[in-house]
Amino acid sequence: MNQSTFPYRLYLVTDQASCLGRNFFWVVEEALKGGVDIVQIREKSLPLEDFIRKAEQLKAICKKYQVPLIINDSVKVAKIVDAEGLHVGQEDANIKEAKAILGSSKTLGLSLENMEDLRKPYCEDAWYYGVSPIYATPTKKDTKSEWGLEGLANLRNATDKPLVAIGRVNLDNAANIISHGADCLAVVSGICSAPSPAHAAEALRKKIEEGLNHQ
């Protein structure tokens, strides 16, 4: 795959707590059955060894569905498990260094918190941008301002890179977020906390189709 190819539409970002006590791997596999086509493992408090083990297990599950696994934040874990990519925030790993370590074939994502972020020189090295957050969410409490639909549309006009919207994405707003210029939706609680993660993913895919028809 090269940088101009970003065929993904529904991005599961994992969160153990959002799985509500159910088995983490079961939740992810159900989501994959429902149509998630890219997965990011996001672990904020696991010791390195446990993070690696969990990522390796997850990579094997994703492989069954031919879905790439992206690692949040840790270049080291991405390298050790040979994940398909890495996602970083503005204050995380340096994306240029990450590219040098992981190789330029890996999918690199960078979160943009506002329009000024787009002018940072390292932005060019990202394959896709996370639009973070499209809406404020209880799942991540340390975000700054939300992009909203207008901000997303402005960002769409300012860059050709794929845009992945994240933050309180749900069935009610999914189609609108896509029709305002997002290429892909990233979801935590809308899938991980759903009674049926498979049905939630399936329903989100339908909303994405709806949104694409109105782009």
| Annotated binding-site ranges | 40-44, 72-73, 92, 111, 137-140, 188-189
Binding test (CB under 6 A) with ligand TZP, winner from 167, 181, 197, 211? 167
Question: Nearer Cβ to Mg ion, position 167 or 181?
Answer: 167
CA distance 104 to 85: 10
Distances (CA, A) of 166 to 49, 128, 170: 28, 13, 10
Binding test (CB under 6 A) with ligand TZP, winner from 34, 68, 109, 190? 190
Is 140 an active-site residue? yes
Is 42 an active-site residue? yes
Question: Nearer Cβ to ligand TZP, position 13 or 75?
Answer: 13
| Contact flag: residue 109 with ligand TZP (CB under 6 A) | no
Q: Taking a C-beta distance cutoff of 8 angstroms, is the pair 67, 39 a contact?
A: yes
CA-nearest of 57, 68, 60, 55 to 8 is 68
Is 22 an active-site residue? no
Name the CA dihedral angle for 181, 184, 187, 190, rounded to a multiple of 10 degrees.
Answer: 70
**Site of interaction with Mg ion (CB under 5 A):** 73, 89, 92
Phi, psi for residue 165 in degrees, rounded to 5:
-85, 135
- Report the residue closest to Mg ion, judged by CB: 89
CA distance 72 to 75: 8
| Contact flag: residue 168 with ligand TZP (CB under 6 A) | yes
Size of the site for ligand TZP (CB under 6 A): 15
Residues that bind ligand TZP (CB under 6 A): 13, 132-133, 137, 139-140, 143, 166-169, 187-190
